Amino acid sequence: MTNIFRTSIGFLILIRVWFLQIALKSKNIYLTKDSDHYIELSEDINYFFFNDNLIDYWLSTFRLPGYPVVLNIFSNFLDIKYAVYINFVADLVTLFLLYKLLSMYFESTFTYIGCIIFLTNTNILISSTQIMTESLSTMLLVASYYYFKNQRYFFSGIFIALLSIFKPLGIYLIIIYVLLLIFENKNFTKKILKLIILPVILISGIYVNNLIQYESGFYSTSSYFHLQWFNNASESICKNYDFNNLNVSEPGYAFENWLEMEGLSKTSESKILIESLKTDANNNLFKNIHCKAISMIRSSIWNMFGIRRASWTGVGFNSITLNFIIYFSLIYVVIINSIFIISIYKSLKNRKINSYIIVILLYVLITSTLPFGNSRTRVLIEPLLIVTFIDSVKNIISNRLNESNL
């Protein structure tokens, strides 16, 4: 049986290589709007450190330097489009970490099944074919959780620190893990110090660097842009509850409109621009609370049950194949995430909840502040959702076997 599982895993890995080869045929697949930003910043990483006048300021402050630095190094050896192979390697590392994580809880059969499920996840597959941060970020999140569960908190902190220069999520992950340590342990002070020392140093370094450059301390303006977007969406919902025609634009992608709205110009000092953004985002944070709740619920549903579609037309896929992928993705999402919801109910009923469920829940809560929702945000927690699914399936089988033996 083990050989069958290993052969299946090897076959699925080859299929993913095939998908990557197909993706490289079309810029519509491996490039997105976000990809253009990362590539632009990678062409001169000094933009992050020696930029005293923010002409298109949100790009160098909205994006963190981690991924542009990786692309900058990679582009010295190969064409930038082949950076998708970095994602492939990252996915293989994530697969190995998932195997190790599952092995902590389950016997080998369930562990291999979890790995096979990972390789059939189209959300992860699509991310791996795009020049984006998701594959590397997923690897770093899973690595941080694996070492966290093994009580190697310093190593967990290393991966949180690395994640924090790829995505602002890193700073929230620190808070989640600290809360877990406080509630699960009596003597948590030393553990917390081991966990946070490197992330705090790195995040503080970014904060100080921005303070020196722009005379305004911040970690990433993306948080403020998203808060402003969240505020605007909530206000629109309060006015008409029309989800299909919300009068909202994301400031991060509508810089000119934001400047006009604030009465600012591109020649304004960086400090004025950033402080104006921070003030505008924070001042409206606690307005329209009930509308914000509606927005978050809607976003959470879409984040968890939405599916992604890549531009695979014109690269050898016919409509039958594309429809199969879409329907398979839909069935996968419904089954995996429905099981997750059932797991939450059972955990609350039994008054015992696993830490990976808590991480998923808090992650979904944080990402639900993005209006409209985006299933791409789910990529980072897909491996933990698989752990939850395997745990539920194992419990169902065990209960059935116990009943049959009575």
Domain ranges of the chain: 2-405
In 10 A of CB 25, how many CB atoms? 12
Average pLDDT estimate for 273-287: 77
C-alpha separations of 345 from 46, 175, 351, 388 in Å: 49, 24, 10, 13
Confidence (pLDDT) at 387: 97
> Mind giving me the DSSP string for 191-252?
HHHHHHHHHHHHHHHHHHHHHHHHSS--S-THHHHHHHHHHHHHHHHHHH--TTS-----GG
Instruction: Say how far apart CA 143 and CA 160 lie, in whole Å.
Output: 9
Give the dihedral of Cα atoms 66, 70, 71, 73; nearest 10 deg. 140
Would you say 339 and 392 are in contact if contact means Cβ atoms under 8 Å apart? Answer: yes
Sequence-distant (≥ 6) Cβ neighbours of residue 363 within 8 angstroms: 169, 172, 176, 380, 381
Q: CA 356 → CA 65, 134, 286, 308, distances in Å?
A: 28, 19, 30, 24
Question: In the chain, what percentage of residues exceed pLDDT 90?
Answer: 47
Single pTM value for the model:
0.90
220-247: pLDDT as tens digits: 888 887 787 777 777 776 766 555 544 4
**Statement: residue 253 has pLDDT above 80:** no
Per-residue pLDDT at 146:
97
> Taking the CB of residue 42, how many other CB atoms lie within 10 A of it?
22
Q: Can you give the pLDDT at residue 201?
A: 95
Is the separation of the CB atoms in 140 and 45 below 8 Å? no
**154-192 pLDDT per residue, tens:** 999 999 999 999 998 889 999 999 999 998 877 899 999
* Confidence grade of residue 148 (pLDDT, cut at 50, 70, 90): very high
Is pLDDT at 271 greater than 80 in this prediction?
no
